[in-house]
Every structure is written in C-alpha cells, then in structure tokens.
Amino acid sequence: MAYFMTEATKENCQDECKFSPNKEATEEDLRRIGVECTKVNFDDANEQWIRIPVRRGDFVFLPAGIYHRFTTDRSEDVVALRLFRNNPKWTAFNRSADGDKQPIREQYLNDISP
C-alpha cells in the first residue's frame, strides 16, 4: 500500500518514516502525479513525497519530468531496471529553479494541471 511519508534517512527508510497516524495514498493520488486523479495537497511541504513500496514483479511508471527519488528498505536488497521509450538517455535535474525550467518539467506540469 502506498503512503505519504515524512523525511526519510538511511536510518528510518522503512515504516519509521510513516506519519503517525499513517496517511495512505490512494490510486487516485498516484494518478494525480502521473503514476497511473484526485487532488494531493502539494502546498503543504509535509505532503510533497509519496512512497510506493514495491516487491518483485511490481511495475511503476513515472512520467518524464516528475521529481522522484529512490530509496531501499532496510535490507538494501534490490534490483531495479530503468526502461526508456526512446533513446536511453537520462539526465538528473535537481529540485530547484533550474530543474523547474527544464522543458520536460514544464511539459509534465502542464500535463497534470487541472
């Protein structure tokens, strides 16, 4: 089950990063950010990240231009595969004014605007 998370560190990268009480993210929450659409309060800095725990065989699609991060659980045992639609090229843009000016980020924001 996906859930909103507090700030994660290497020491609290599993259940300890859940809010208390827990705040689950619905399928509609995930659609809103392009994962697959209800409103998510992005104005509240405590709700900018949604955690999606995955297990072997799970597939998560993240659209180009979305800010995201990847962390492991305590076991740190993971094999991840990044798939590309076109030429396999990936450039990281940090969450910042420069990242927000990237054409792919602007396109993503236009795509999810109501």
pLDDT band at 14; cut points 50, 70, 90 = low
Residue 76 backbone class (left: φ over 0; alpha: ψ -120 to 50; beta: rest) = left
> Residue 24's beta-bridge partner residues?
3
Higher pLDDT, 88 or 39: 88
Chain segment 21-33, per-residue pLDDT in tens: 888 888 888 877 7
Tokens encoding 82: 């990044």
Single-letter code of the amino acid located at 18:
K
Query: What average pLDDT is seen over the chain?
Result: 76
H or E element in which residue 99 lies = helix 97-100
Give domain limits for the chain.
12-113
Chain segment 66-103, per-residue pLDDT in tens: 888 777 777 777 777 777 777 777 777 878 888 888 89
